[in-house]
Amino acid sequence: DGGITQSPKYLFRKEGQNVTLSCEQNLNHDAMYWYRQDPGQGLRLIYYSQIVNDFQKGDIAEGYSVSREKKESFPLTVTSAQKNPTAFYLCASTPQGLSNTGELFFGEGSRLTVL
Amino acid sequence: SQQGEEDPQALSIQEGENATMNCSYKTSINNLQWYRQNSGRGLVHLILIRSNEREKHSGRLRVTLDTSKKSSSLLITASRAADTASYFCATKGTGGFKTIFGAGTRLFVKA
């Protein structure tokens, strides 16, 4: 089935460690996004990529890094520079082009807890 | 920066009742979307309304849009316990690539 797969679903990290969250899609979508969600709050955009080998910072990019070497993959690294990384991370994708409505297709999320 | 603001933050109703959630936004939009999120899960797209539309229906969902007031409402009719979830409005601006989300309304439907 087509969709977006995020892994791992749960991740625990010690302070000072970098961790990488995986996001893979087989929807043939050009654009991919990473959002962060804190308890009881909406989604905040971390990074987005409209095309392979290109990505832009969102509203809260500090302490995070991404790569887009393949159309299907958009991994997010949470670095030790991120001061408060405990959160629920959501990956999404959308087709591009003039007909793009911005409707996002989401993965099931990865919950990161810093110990 | 957040674009949408949902109201109320939380809503508790009995099964069979209607649930209404409101969303306000700040800038010009291309369209407005509503998403649903079950606890601990990803978001699922429910319905989209374009800036030149005023009302749209999908099953038990009814969405209205008032661009003069920069507001939208989502009505869920004849609610079911399975409708218990958080509901988010999201906007796609004119000329932008980003979809911006509000803080959501938590709906609890009691059986």
Long-range residue pairs from B60-66, CB within 8 A, at least 24 positions apart, any chain: B61/B34, B63/B32, B63/B34, B65/B32
Compute the distance between CA of residue B93 and CA of residue A100 in angstroms, rounded to an integer: 12
- C-alpha distances (whole Å) from A32 to each of A28, A46, A72 are 11, 11, 9
Report the gap between the CA of A11 and the closest CA in chain B (Å): 14
Report the gap between the CA of B45 and the closest CA in chain A (Å): 7
| Tokens standing for residue A97 | 């082009």
Over residues A37-53, the pLDDT tens digits come to 998 788 999 999 999 99
Compute the distance between CA of residue B89 and CA of residue B31 in angstroms, rounded to an integer: 11
Residue B83 dihedral angles phi and psi, to the nearest 5°: -80, -10
Among the listed residues A44, A33, A51, A46, the one whose alpha carbon sits nearest the alpha carbon of residue A92: A33
| Tokens standing for residue A2 | 């087509």
The answer to whether A28 and A93 are in contact (CB under 8 A) is no
B80 touching chain A per CB within 8 A:
no
pLDDT surpassing 90 at residue B110: yes
Over residues A79-112, the pLDDT tens digits come to 998 889 999 999 999 987 655 677 899 999 999 9
Confidence label for B6 from pLDDT (cuts 50, 70 and 90): confident
Question: B57: which DSSP letter?
Answer: E
Cβ within 8 Å, pair B43-A48: no
- Chains A–B, number of C-beta pairs less than 8 Å apart: 63
Over residues A26-39, the pLDDT tens digits come to 999 999 999 999 98
CA dihedral B61, B62, B65, B71 (to 10 degrees): -70
Instruction: Identify the bridge partners of residue B86 per DSSP, sorted by sequence position.
Output: B37, B106
Compute the distance between CA of residue A62 and CA of residue B31 in angstroms, rounded to an integer: 29
The answer to whether B30 and B92 are in contact (CB under 8 A) is yes
Over residues B50-96, the pLDDT tens digits come to 999 999 999 999 999 999 999 999 999 999 999 999 999 999 876 66
Q: Tell me what pLDDT residue A56 has.
A: 94
Confidence label for B2 from pLDDT (cuts 50, 70 and 90): very low
Beta-carbon contacts of residue A98 (< 8 Å; ≥ 6 apart): none
Over residues B34-49, the pLDDT tens digits come to 999 999 999 999 999 9
Which of A45, A101, A107 is closest, CB to CB, to B42?
A: A107
Cβ within 8 Å, pair A41-B100: no
Q: Tell me what pLDDT residue A98 has.
A: 55
